């Protein structure tokens, strides 16, 4: 069947911006300014301000942002880094690419972000190194040096609790903020609202086209309040050179190109409005789904302001529901069907089914409904009515 409500509609979103985006491209053509320069610096300044972080360094992707943040922050081969398995593989890939090994903490049932209580009990269950006192990974036997919570679906992880635990156990905290541009939470530790990207030692953002702030190609950024870490990321993203042809480190070609930076600068102006629209779409879904049996709708934690990169419900027999929705022209997604600890790529860690029960339940039942700024109420009603028919619900959405 023809798609009636797509999962994501970037085409309509970009129509409104077409002239501004074409201008960016024209300017790059006319100045031959394709790499670095004014557009990159301008976007970096604007995005740092948006995240309330001291520094932003544009890079080639969210994966590069994670990797370069880890390397610049001092994660070393042979270390263990704790993260979650209910995320896109890039979170763990970047840990592995930095030479460290991930171990996975289960997620919280309601929000699918790292469960802080489980982080604590995991660390308490780890043997301390007799010399350094650092906890040793239960699977790797190597010192645990960092934790990488993921602000999944656009909601920040329980950062106050995670930061407290990290301090206690001497761990660095890196935010995977790839899905959480502009997400906030009220920090009781600091008695103020904090924005994703300003909280950990460093944070990684993705500007993959479908993200809340998406480029028209690949792009990413690191944000941090640590000037030395920022300097190192700048050097590493550019072949390890602080000055052309003077290489202080073996680096990467991980630069953000000027055209993407220009596109992002244009789109950043619209992001606050788009975020409001996403939040309004989420509230409308919450209302429409609240009386429906057989569906668990997403939970926004108290004192948290999620930006709803995705609106993920939980249903039984998810794959059939997805297929039947597709038959009615509703586009959906699964984020993510196979948790990282059960992926063949990470089989060397020796995890098996049952090790992370909440993560595994989420992977089996998560279904992402259409979510994008500009999704009309009428289309949302169509989605919910289709869902009602599939789940055979008594209540029909109004």
Ligand X SMILES: Cc1ncc(COP(=O)(O)O)c(C=O)c1O
- Which residues sit at the interface with ligand X, rule CB under 6 A? 61-63, 87-88, 90-91, 150, 176, 178-179, 206, 208, 220
Q: Which is nearer to ligand X, 206 or 304 (CB)?
A: 206
Q: Which is nearer to ligand X, 220 or 262 (CB)?
A: 220
Q: Which is nearer to ligand X, 91 or 275 (CB)?
A: 91
Q: Which is nearer to ligand X, 85 or 388 (CB)?
A: 85
Tell the smallest beta-carbon distance from residue 113 to ligand X (Å).
Answer: 11
Tell the smallest beta-carbon distance from residue 335 to ligand X (Å).
Answer: 8
Work out the number of other CB atoms within 10 angstroms of the CB of residue 18: 9
The per-residue b/e assignment along 196-212, b for 16 or more CB within 10 angstroms, e otherwise, is: bbbbbbbbbbbbbeebb
Q: Which is nearer to ligand X, 368 or 380 (CB)?
A: 368
Tell the smallest beta-carbon distance from residue 208 to ligand X (Å).
Answer: 4
Tell the smallest beta-carbon distance from residue 293 to ligand X (Å).
Answer: 31
Residue closest to ligand X (Cβ): 62
Q: Which is nearer to ligand X, 154 or 373 (CB)?
A: 154
Tell the smallest beta-carbon distance from residue 259 to ligand X (Å).
Answer: 16
Tell the smallest beta-carbon distance from residue 30 to ligand X (Å).
Answer: 29
């Amino acid at each position: 069947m023809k798609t009636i409500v797509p999962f994501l509609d970037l085409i309509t979103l970009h129509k409104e911006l077409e002239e501004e985006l074409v201008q960016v491209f024209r300017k790059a053509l006319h100045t031959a300014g394709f790499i670095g320069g004014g557009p990159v610096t301008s976007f970096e300044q604007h995005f740092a301000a948006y995240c309330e972080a001291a520094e932003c360094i544009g890079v080639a992707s969210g994966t590069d942002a994670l990797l370069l943040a880890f390397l610049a922050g001092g994660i070393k081969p042979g270390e263990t880094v704790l993260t979650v398995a209910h995320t896109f593989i890039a979170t763990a890939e970047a840990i592995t690419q930095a030479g460290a090994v991930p171990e996975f903490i289960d997620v919280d049932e309601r929000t699918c972000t790292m469960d802080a209580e489980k982080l604590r009990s995991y660390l308490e269950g780890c043997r301390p190194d007799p010399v350094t006192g650092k906890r040793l990974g239960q699977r790797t036997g190597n010192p645990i040096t960092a934790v990488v919570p993921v602000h999944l679906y656009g909601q920040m992880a329980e950062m106050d609790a995670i930061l407290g635990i990290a301090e206690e156990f001497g761990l660095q905290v890196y935010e995977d903020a790839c899905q959480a541009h502009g997400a906030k939470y009220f920090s009781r530790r600091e008695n103020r609202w904090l924005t994703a990207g300003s909280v950990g030692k460093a944070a990684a953002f993705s500007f993959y086209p479908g993200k809340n702030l998406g480029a028209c190609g690949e792009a990413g950024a690191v944000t941090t309040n640590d000037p030395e870490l920022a300097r190192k990321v700048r050097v590493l993203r550019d072949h390890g050179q602080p000055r052309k042809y003077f290489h202080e480190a073996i680096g990467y070609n991980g630069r953000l190109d000027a055209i993407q930076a220009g596109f992002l600068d244009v789109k950043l102006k619209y992001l606050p409005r788009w975020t409001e629209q996403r939040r309004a779409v989420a509230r409308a879904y919450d209302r429409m789904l609240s009386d429906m049996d057989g569906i668990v709708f997403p939970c926004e934690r108290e004192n948290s302001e999620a930006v709803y990169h995705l609106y993920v419900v939980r249903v039984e027999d998810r794959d059939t529901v997805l297929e039947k929705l597709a038959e009615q022209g509703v586009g959906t997604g699964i984020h993510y069907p196979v948790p990282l600890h059960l992926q063949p790529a990470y089989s060397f860690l020796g995890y098996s089914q049952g090790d992370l029960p909440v993560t595994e339940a989420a992977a089996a039942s998560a279904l992402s409904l259409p979510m994008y700024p500009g999704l009309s109420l009428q289309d949302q009603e169509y989605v919910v009515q289709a869902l009602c028919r599939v789940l055979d619900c008594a209540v029909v959405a109004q």
